[in-house]
Chain A
Amino acid sequence: MPAQSSDALLEAGPPESDAAVLRLSGRLDAYSVGHLWDAALAALASRTSVPVIVDASGVAYCDVAGAALLVDLLRRPRAPGAEVSVRNLRSPFDRLLRQFDPRGFEDRPPPPRLDEPLAERVGEVGIAVLRQAYERVAFVGEAAAAAVDTLTNLRRVRWREPVLIAQRMGADAVPIVVLIGFLIGVILAFQTAVAIRDFGADVFVANAVALAVLRELGPLMTAIVLAGRSGSAFAAEIGTMKVNEEIDALITMGVSPVQFLVVPRMLAGFLIAPLLTAMANFVGLLGGAVAMRTFGIPFVTYFHQVQSIATLGDLFGGLVKAFVFGLLVAGVGCLQGLKTGEGASAVGQSTTHAVVGGIILVIAADSIFAVIFNILGL
């Protein structure tokens, strides 16, 4: 006391009868009142037993931020007979201040945080998981029905759409699939060679690479690339349409969004994933060959070894998986897009869920395939 900022001033005035006087003067706006605020509250707190008059005759300008300072002084709970009052505020500012009812801004205690009992939280999570499972199943059913409907009305299908999607999802993904497939082959060959060389069995590295790439890594890596590139794109695309009410527009036109948006994308995923997987397989084997070359194993030996160990069953087993993975990745992307809530952050969430959900589903499906192939003796 007195507190001063560049433009505004707060000082104690001479007391009048039994009331304390605080004088405010200058320009009260969002930039100047910050320096007075704490001092004003402190001045009020040190005069709890007497009435306080805030004399604002020196106030040259007062906007809502200035009025907020006065409201903050007026709203503090005071003992009876020790009320706070504001006087001599010039007319336009006084009218502004009187728009606000200080009682309406009384400090409310924050709502108590309810700590839910453990059982309740477990139950909520359980219900959420079940609901998610239900949504997935419902979506699969809806998509299957739409697919059947599409296949029985082939003439009504707009082929441009799936072809365009397939191009973006497939042809545009070739460079990255080739790069990743090749490097996986190289890395796999190197790491296996390190372990196996001590036994003088370098040549059998080809066996390991061939089986791992054809049966597992080719389809899996391709599916993960697709989830990152295309699953996310589907979710963002459809999610933005949802936010913009374009999905609602489709529904009111009597067009099923599943049929119009999801079926073409799942069809594209179904067709593209095996093609990309075949490519990843090829360059993966090539990568292994290049790596083994540096260990002194010629290409001929390597590929002869590959031929002797890998069967058509290995190759087609991998490709069958790729069909399923393609469906899963595209389906989860579309499902998350359709489930998008409101606002910009919802699209981001859908995209994240599409990628994470896609990868999890692909790996889960892969383990189911492992069991099935094992039972079938493939």
Chain B
Amino acid sequence: MSVEPAVIRVEHLTAGYADRALLEDLSFEVQRGEVFAILGGSGSGKSTLLKHLIGLFPPMSGHIWLDGIDIATVQGAARLLALRRIGVAYQSGALFGSLTLAQNVRFPLEEYTELPDEAIELIARMKLDLVGLRDFADSLPAEVSGGMQKRAAIARAMALDPAIVFLDEPSAGLDPVTSAGLDQLILRLKQGLGITFVVVTHELPSIFAIADRVIMLDRQSRSIVAEGRPQELRDHSDIPVVHQFFNRQPAAGVEAG
């Protein structure tokens, strides 16, 4: 796998909003076809990193390469082409409230492909079937539960069968059964279609179930404190924050009190 060029390459990225840097000098690579998890406590900059990776915000310095394209500087048609190769499921779902679930999934297909209408409808329903929502295709987002909205958002993120799918806390707020089902789905899509997943999460069971590699961000140092396979980090890391995270221990201050 390492002979192939990395599908995402981040070089010396400093990221933040306005003049305030939340992450400094990050460098890492994501290989094609792996599930890559971004971990960290609240406020460690996980979502900030994700928003930079998908090109919503330009880096303060450094570069982000998606499939060899610098997402921060690419403009016009090339940018659209790059964005078509990624799919994003946002934390809140961000479904369009006035459209049914099927119409939400249809939206990117209608925008970008020349498929006949009937084919788009079938594809949309199959994507919803993949996330277990075939019977809710004609419901509005407001009519289904939060977990269903989340799964529908994942179906929409995968509407164009992108090469890279970004998931922001996909299993937060889901019941354990649905969450495990989602993990299965991610693994199936990874194995079957070779999709690369970048997942922001702090659900330990899900990390161990799906993640090939993880990076862990830390609020204090504003950088990556650990990188590697989740099992190895759990069993062998001697970095206190990593140890606490994987063994669900309270932070040192709380423990001492």
Interface size class of B (residues with CB under 8 A): 20 to 34
* Residues of the A chain whose Cβ atoms lie less than 8 Å from the Cβ of B126: 64, 67-68, 71, 100, 105
Main secondary structure of the interface of B (DSSP, over half): helix
Are B130 and A99 interface neighbours, CB within 8 A? yes
With A30-B109, A343-B141 in contact, is A72–B119 under 8 Å at CB? yes
Are A65 and B188 interface neighbours, CB within 8 A? no
Most buried by A among B113, B122, B129: B122
Are B192 and A92 interface neighbours, CB within 8 A? yes
A117 located at the interface, meaning its Cβ lies under 8 Å from any Cβ of chain B in the complex = no
* Residues of the B chain whose Cβ atoms lie less than 8 Å from the Cβ of A104: 129, 134
A341 located at the interface, meaning its Cβ lies under 8 Å from any Cβ of chain B in the complex = yes
With A95-B192, A100-B126 in contact, is A33–B142 under 8 Å at CB? no
- The contact string, 1 if C-beta is below 8 Å from chain A, for chain B 163-195, is 000000000000000000000000010011110
* Residues of the B chain whose Cβ atoms lie less than 8 Å from the Cβ of A72: 118-119, 122
* Residues of the A chain whose Cβ atoms lie less than 8 Å from the Cβ of B159: 30
Cα separation A72 to B125 with both chains bound (whole Å):
12
- What distance in Å separates the Cβ of A27 from its nearest Cβ neighbour in chain B? 11
Stretch at the interface among A34-42, A174-182, A221-229: A34-42
A residues 31-90 touching B (CB-CB < 8 Å)? 31, 33-35, 37-38, 63-65, 67-69, 71-72
Residue in contact with A38 in the complex, picked from B97, B116, B122, B134, CB distance below 8 Å: B116
With A37-B119, A68-B123, A68-B126 in contact, is A92–B193 under 8 Å at CB? yes
Residue in contact with B142 in the complex, picked from A35, A71, A96, A342, CB distance below 8 Å: A342
Are B191 and A69 interface neighbours, CB within 8 A? no
Cα separation A35 to B115 with both chains bound (whole Å):
7
B145 located at the interface, meaning its Cβ lies under 8 Å from any Cβ of chain A in the complex = no
Are A342 and B97 interface neighbours, CB within 8 A? yes
* Residues of the A chain whose Cβ atoms lie less than 8 Å from the Cβ of B97: 342-346
Main secondary structure of the interface of A (DSSP, over half): helix
A29 located at the interface, meaning its Cβ lies under 8 Å from any Cβ of chain B in the complex = yes
With A64-B130, A65-B123, A65-B161 in contact, is A343–B113 under 8 Å at CB? no
B46 located at the interface, meaning its Cβ lies under 8 Å from any Cβ of chain A in the complex = no
* Residues of the A chain whose Cβ atoms lie less than 8 Å from the Cβ of B142: 341-343
A204 located at the interface, meaning its Cβ lies under 8 Å from any Cβ of chain B in the complex = no
With A64-B127, A95-B192, A105-B122 in contact, is A343–B98 under 8 Å at CB? yes
With A63-B161, A63-B193, A343-B142 in contact, is A35–B114 under 8 Å at CB? yes
Cα separation A341 to B129 with both chains bound (whole Å):
28
B residues 79-94 touching A (CB-CB < 8 Å)? none
B23 located at the interface, meaning its Cβ lies under 8 Å from any Cβ of chain A in the complex = no
* Residues of the A chain whose Cβ atoms lie less than 8 Å from the Cβ of B127: 64
Residue in chain B with minimal CB distance to A31: B113
- What distance in Å separates the Cβ of B231 from its nearest Cβ neighbour in chain A? 26
Cα separation A343 to B159 with both chains bound (whole Å):
23
A369 located at the interface, meaning its Cβ lies under 8 Å from any Cβ of chain B in the complex = no
The count of residues in chain A whose C-beta lies closer than 8 Å to any C-beta of chain B is 30
* Residues of the B chain whose Cβ atoms lie less than 8 Å from the Cβ of A260: none
A139 located at the interface, meaning its Cβ lies under 8 Å from any Cβ of chain B in the complex = no
Most buried by B among A30, A38, A69: A30
Residue in contact with B116 in the complex, picked from A30, A34, A95, CB distance below 8 Å: A34
Cα separation A69 to B129 with both chains bound (whole Å):
15
* Residues of the A chain whose Cβ atoms lie less than 8 Å from the Cβ of B22: none
Residue in chain B with minimal CB distance to A341: B142
Are B115 and A34 interface neighbours, CB within 8 A? yes
A93 located at the interface, meaning its Cβ lies under 8 Å from any Cβ of chain B in the complex = yes
Are B125 and A105 interface neighbours, CB within 8 A? yes
- What distance in Å separates the Cβ of A56 from its nearest Cβ neighbour in chain B? 15
Cα separation A339 to B77 with both chains bound (whole Å):
44
A residues 3-48 touching B (CB-CB < 8 Å)? 29-31, 33-35, 37-38
* Residues of the B chain whose Cβ atoms lie less than 8 Å from the Cβ of A69: 119
* Residues of the A chain whose Cβ atoms lie less than 8 Å from the Cβ of B134: 104
Residue in chain A with minimal CB distance to B159: A30
* Residues of the A chain whose Cβ atoms lie less than 8 Å from the Cβ of B193: 63-64, 92, 96
B8 located at the interface, meaning its Cβ lies under 8 Å from any Cβ of chain A in the complex = no
B160 located at the interface, meaning its Cβ lies under 8 Å from any Cβ of chain A in the complex = yes
* Residues of the B chain whose Cβ atoms lie less than 8 Å from the Cβ of A99: 129-130, 188
- What distance in Å separates the Cβ of A236 from its nearest Cβ neighbour in chain B? 16
Are B192 and A345 interface neighbours, CB within 8 A? no
A residues 316-358 touching B (CB-CB < 8 Å)? 341-346
Cα separation A71 to B130 with both chains bound (whole Å):
14
* Residues of the B chain whose Cβ atoms lie less than 8 Å from the Cβ of A344: 97-98
10 of the cross-chain contacts (CB-CB < 8 Å) are A30-B123, A34-B114, A63-B193, A64-B130, A72-B122, A96-B192, A100-B129, A104-B134, A105-B125, A343-B141
- Give the 3 A-B CB pairs with smallest separation, nearest first: A343-B97, A342-B142, A63-B161
Beyond the given A63-B161, A104-B134, could you list 5 further A-B residue pairs with CB under 8 A, ordered by the A residue number? A37-B119, A65-B113, A72-B119, A99-B129, A344-B98
Which residues of B line the A interface, CB within 8 A?
A: 97-98, 109, 112-116, 118-119, 122-123, 125-127, 129-130, 134, 140-142, 158-161, 188, 191-194
